[in-house]
Amino acid sequence: QAARLAGKVLNRVFQSALQTAKEIRTRTAIGRGATSVGSVAVELAERIFDSDLSRKTVLILGAGKMGEACVRHLAKRGAKTVLVSNRSFDRAQNLASEFGGQAVPFEEFRQALAAADIVVSSTGSPEIVLRRDDVAAVLPQRRNRPLFLIDIAVPRDIDPAIQHLANVFLYDIDDLQGIVLENARCREQELARCREIVAGRTAAVMEKIAPSGKRTCPLRPAAPLHWPLGYLESQSQIA
């Protein structure tokens, strides 16, 4: 369109496609509910912190791709301060620089818990990295501020007993993926309504382009809109 090469017919098709997408988003719930672990983590964080992440501090334990992607989602939604702690301090510094954050020596990350609001852990350690006593020790300094812990490591990085502490919210990879799959199923239930909208819009634009009384051949039905659950399940893995 910018190059003015589309012509009247293609322009009409393009506009109809945009209007169809807008109508689907408006009239159905196909776009509601996060379908990746990172975006689910953001939704949960916003519930805990009343949708305001602008003044929250995120602490990353481990500098792997999953943790990085999860924090990237949080940063996009307003989280401003990022602390990165990794066994390789150079790797922590490199990742911290991407978010304008600060690297924390791995042996000092427990002290950083006092300042953190959200902790994303994915270290690859075969043993528990963050224990109940570690968190309990910093709670007096936090003065009842909520602490949101996201454990996306396999095996787990964070002691499950931590979730019993006051004002501490712990979610692991199974919790997040469960929410992702439930959201995916809800989206799949909306497909029938989406198909109806697409079919109606397609018929309307074709009638304008080639009225039924002037067609030399019948209009072929559109290919069915197909969004398999397997694809949605694949979105539960952080890209």
Model confidence pLDDT, tens digit, residues 121-167 = 989 899 999 999 999 999 999 989 999 999 988 899 999 999 999 99
Q: How far apart are the first and last CA of the chain?
A: 32
Instruction: Identify the CATH number of the domain in which residue 153 sits.
Output: 3.40.50.720
Has residue 124 been placed in a domain? yes
What separation in angstroms does the CA of 53 have from each of 39, 78, 132, 229? 14, 5, 25, 31
Q: Which of 175, 208, 224 delimits the end of a domain?
A: 175
| DSSP SS3 for 166 | coil
Query: Chain-wide mean pLDDT for the chain?
Result: 81
Has residue 180 been placed in a domain? no
Task: Give the HSE-up count for residue 31: Cα atoms under 13 Å, Cβ half-sphere.
Answer: 8
Same domain (yes/no): 169, 205 = no
Q: Which of 146, 175, 204 delimits the end of a domain?
A: 175
Q: Which helix (H) or strand (E) holds 68?
A: helix 65-76
How far is the C-alpha of 182 from the C-alpha of 35, rounded, in Å? Answer: 9
Residue 218 has pLDDT above 60, yes or no: no
Cα dihedral 39, 44, 50, 56 sign:
negative
pLDDT at res. 190: 77
Q: 91 lies in which domain range?
A: 37-175
Same domain (yes/no): 108, 220 = no
| Structural domain total, the chain | 2
Has residue 136 been placed in a domain? yes
Phi, psi at 230, each rounded to 5°: -60, -40
Residue of higher predicted confidence among 216 and 27: 27
Least confident segment among 99-103, 122-126, 184-188, 214-218: 214-218
pLDDT at res. 239: 44
Same domain (yes/no): 197, 149 = no
* Nearest alpha carbon to residue 59 among 79, 84, 76: 84
Give residue-wise pLDDT tens across range 185-213: 777 777 878 888 888 888 888 888 777 55
Size of the chain in residues: 239
Tokens 């501090």 correspond to: 57
Least confident segment among 35-44, 57-66, 122-131, 215-224: 215-224
b/e code 158-192 from CB counts within 10 Å (16+ = b): bbeebeeeeebbbbbbebbbebbbebbeebeebee
Residue 29 has pLDDT above 90, yes or no: no
